[in-house]
Amino acid sequence: MVGGSGEYTNQTYHFNDGTSFKREFITIKPNVGDFLKDMFALGAALRFEKLDDFYIYGIGIFSRYYFLETDKFKAVIGFQIHLEK
């Protein structure tokens, strides 16, 4: 299974004294995993974030167990652990 999320934000703040401040925020969080047995999945969760001049990198693991019925989706239980630098 492959998934994840991402976001990009670019904002400019204008102040009453005529000055302005620009911010840029980027987030990329891909997930890659595989089913080990029946409905139990294990995989890696990666992370990259940039806020102005600050960078955050991370890697972690995730596990998920899917409760399924034939033709109906019921529930998903999972957790993630991240190590960040």
State the average pLDDT over residues 37-43.
Answer: 84
Residue-level pLDDT at 9: 92
Could you tell me the pTM of the whole model?
Answer: 0.62
Confidence of residue 74 (pLDDT cuts 50, 70, 90): low
State the average pLDDT over residues 4-13.
Answer: 91
Pull the structure tokens for residue 1.
């299974």
Residue-level pLDDT at 71: 56
HEC letters along the chain:
CEEEEEEEEEEEEECCCCCEEEEEEEEEEEEEEEEEECCEEEEEEEEEEEECCEEEEEEEEEEEEEEEECCEEEEEEEEEEEEEC
CA 11-55-2 angle, to 5 degrees, is 90
State the average pLDDT over residues 60-73.
Answer: 72
